[in-house]
């Protein structure tokens, strides 16, 4: 059951009033069952109690109004005034990182499509040289979009591919160079060191971590490790369309206080939309 459905049924059809502590207990279970992390859940409940320190009774509408305000504030904290379309440096270098399964390679294509349809020029770099499938996938995206993909064979130096991508974009005065990377598991020390090398050589203007909304608390752990080991400027949260529980986005926004640039809502190239807290809140509370 989704967070939306759980909140709608919180009073179970009752019309009586409940004390704040009783409501907080209800919210605690609902939030955890909806994949909101424990840390973020505890923060939400502290804010909820703070809004009614007298512990007076309230009805469902007031309780939901207060909770909605708290959740909105959390999501608003991940807004960004960064505009991908207004970058003067050429090429503007974007490095995407994240583990396998977070939709990273598809996101490279989606971001390229977003830039292309807004009149920008792009080169893509296939620096995930550990999986032949990733190279082929990016090449297909490039063919479909009419974008040059810089690649080498499987097992080649991913840092060299990143360098070549940037040089290609620079020589042709392209607006953007977008670089894919291997889905390095955060516990693999050798691969983390390789990632650091790619970042050192490419000197990206923006490093973006892709996370999977369905991964819930795993996404939080992954982001914590990447922030410590590699560092990133913001996030793209994928698979929002298939996140049945709907709570992970609040943990991601609350615990990392990093901008969320886009959310992925499907597999198509146009299935990536700018992050909009209002839309997310409306979907949950409508």
Q: How far apart (Å, rounded) are the C-alpha atoms in residues 244 and 213?
A: 10
CATH architecture of 3-76: Up-down Bundle (1.20)
User: What confidence tens digit (pLDDT) does each residue in 120-162 have?
Assistant: 999 999 999 988 888 999 999 999 999 999 999 888 999 999 9
Among residues 180, 174, 147, which one has the least CA distance to residue 162?
180
Q: Give the contacts of 253 (CB within 8 A, at least 6 positions apart).
A: 74, 75, 77, 78, 260
Among 82, 154, 158, 84, which Cα is nearest to 122's? 84
pTM: 0.91
Where are the chain's structural domains?
A: 3-76, 92-285
Topology given in CATH for the domain delimited by 92-285 = Rossmann fold (3.40.50)
pLDDT tens digits for 161-185?
Answer: 999 999 999 999 999 999 999 876 6
Q: How many helices (H) and strands (E) does the chain have?
A: 11, 8
Residuewise pLDDT in 10s, the chain (286 residues) = 567 677 766 656 555 677 888 888 888 988 888 888 899 999 999 999 998 877 678 887 888 889 999 999 999 999 998 999 999 899 999 999 988 888 899 999 999 999 999 999 999 999 999 888 889 999 999 999 999 999 998 889 999 999 999 999 999 999 999 999 987 665 567 778 888 999 999 999 999 999 888 876 777 777 788 888 889 999 999 988 876 567 888 999 998 889 999 999 988 999 999 999 999 998 888 7
């Amino acid at each position: 059951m989704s967070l939306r459905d759980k909140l709608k049924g919180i009073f179970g059809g009752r019309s009586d009033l409940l004390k704040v502590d009783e409501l907080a207990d209800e919210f605690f279970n609902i939030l955890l069952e909806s994949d909101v992390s424990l840390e973020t859940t505890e923060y939400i409940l502290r804010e909820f109690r703070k809004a009614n320190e007298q512990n007076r009774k309230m009805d469902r509408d007031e309780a939901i109004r207060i909770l909605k305000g708290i959740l909105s504030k959390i999501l608003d904290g991940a807004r960004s005034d960064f505009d991908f379309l207004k970058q003067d440096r050429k090429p503007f270098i974007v490095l995407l990182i994240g583990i396998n399964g977070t939709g990273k390679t598809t996101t490279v294509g989606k971001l390229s499509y977003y830039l292309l349809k807004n009149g920008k020029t792009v080169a893509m770099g296939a620096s995930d040289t550990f999986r032949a499938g990733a190279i082929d996938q990016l090449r297909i995206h490039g063919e479909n979009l009419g974008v040059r993909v810089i690649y080498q064979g499987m097992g080649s130096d991913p840092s060299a591919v990143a360098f070549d991508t940037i040089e290609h974009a620079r020589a042709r005065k392209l607006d953007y160079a977008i670089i894919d990377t291997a889905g390095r598991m955060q516990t693999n020390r050798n691969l983390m060191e390789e990632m650091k090398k790619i970042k050192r050589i490419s000197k990206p203007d923006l490093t973006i971590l892709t996370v999977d909304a369905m991964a819930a608390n795993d996404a939080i752990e992954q982001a914590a490790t990447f922030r410590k080991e590699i560092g990133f400027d913001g996030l793209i949260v994928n698979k929002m369309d298939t996140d049945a529980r709907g709570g992970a986005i609040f943990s991601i926004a609350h615990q990392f206080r990093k901008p969320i640039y886009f959310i992925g809502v499907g597999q198509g190239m146009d299935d990536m939309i700018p992050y909009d807290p209002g839309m997310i809140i409306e979907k949950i509370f409508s």
